[in-house]
Amino acid sequence: MIDAHCHLEQKDYDEDRDEFIESLKKELKAVVTCCAHPRDFELTLELVRKYKKFVFATVGIHPTYVKEFSLEQVEEFCKKIVEHKDEIVGIGEVGLDYYWIKEEYWRKKQEELFTIFIELAQKLKKPLVIHSRDATQRCVEILEEYNCKHVLMHLFSERKCLERVKENGWYISIGPIIARSKTHKKIARDFPLERILLETDSPWFGFGKRGTSLNIKIAAEKIAQVKKLSFEEVWKTCGENAIRFYDLR
């Protein structure tokens, strides 16, 4: 009933954003939109204010944008986040991306950016939403170094890190990609339902169409199949997990 991670700020929704959100309200309890670039911060806040108690937001700088910002600009953005801390429910998505960022220098800069947002999340007592493409093991190491407790591994796909994520008490989110991925099916099978959230990462993962938050149904159906549970149990439990993780009110 809750899409725990989407991107309502994306240009894909520019032409009909309000109508689109109204359509989601008919079937879902809430959506959590992720502002991953400072340019989208004001629009994200507008959506949170306009759709109070339905649209919630996390805020951060996506690791693939690391080349765009100086340390001073990052610090200024963090100040803005602090000023609006009561209007957001988490920090993210932040982390590491070794798929798009190959240069060792910029990978180190990603780590610096990541740690800034970890410290911000700890200061604000907000949960962290982690992007970890081709860099999950290093992300886990850094999170453990900072003794992070309140963590969501967004679109988690690294089975070799599964036990560490479990042991740390972290959450994972699973999206529609599970319909086409054996790896995600195995992760869903082996991870406790009580720590799984449903997400879409929409507008992506629409399988040829614009992604929609309603596609969490696809994820719930596949999780139910691999865990041999009812759709209703998965739907209800994952929604409750999202409320608990983000402290949604």
Task: Parse the chain into domains and list their residue ranges.
Answer: 2-246
Whether residue 249 has pLDDT greater than 90: no
Mean pLDDT of 78-104: 98
- CA-CA-CA-CA dihedral for 40, 214, 210, 190, to nearest 10: 90
| Burial class of 18 by CB neighbour count within 10 A (0 to 12, 13 to 18, 19+) | exposed
- 92: helix, strand or coil: strand
Instruction: Tell me how far the alpha carbon of residue 194 is from its chain's centroid.
Output: 17
My answer on whether omega of the bond before 19 falls inside 30° of 0, hence cis, is no
pLDDT in tens, 220-232: 999 999 999 999 9
**Token pair for 179:** 């319909």
Mean pLDDT of 207-221: 97
Question: pLDDT confidence of 36, banded at 50, 70, 90?
Answer: very high
pLDDT in tens, 49-62: 999 999 999 999 99
- Angle, helices 216-227 vs 182-190, to 10°: value is 60
**Token pair for 53:** 């108690």
Which element (helix H / strand E) includes 6? strand 2-6
Whether the model clears a pTM of 0.85, i.e. scores above it, the answer is yes
* Residues contacting 86, CB < 8 A, separation 6+: none
Question: pLDDT confidence of 1, banded at 50, 70, 90?
Answer: very high
Q: Are 56 and 8 in contact (CB under 8 A)?
A: no
Query: 156 pairs with which residues across the strands?
Result: none
Q: Note the CATH architecture for domain 2-246.
A: Alpha-Beta Barrel (3.20)
In terms of phi and psi (left: phi > 0; alpha: psi -120 to 50; beta: otherwise), the region of 95 is left
**Cα–Cα distance between 140 and 66 in angstroms, integer?**
19
Q: What share of the chain is helix, strand, coil (3-state, %, to 5)?
A: 55, 15, 30
**Token pair for 127:** 């949960």
Question: pLDDT confidence of 17, banded at 50, 70, 90?
Answer: very high
Q: pLDDT at position 45, please?
A: 98
Q: Are 89 and 57 in contact (CB under 8 A)?
A: yes
Tell me which DSSP letter residue 240 carries.
H
**Token pair for 247:** 């402290």
**Token pair for 158:** 């690294």
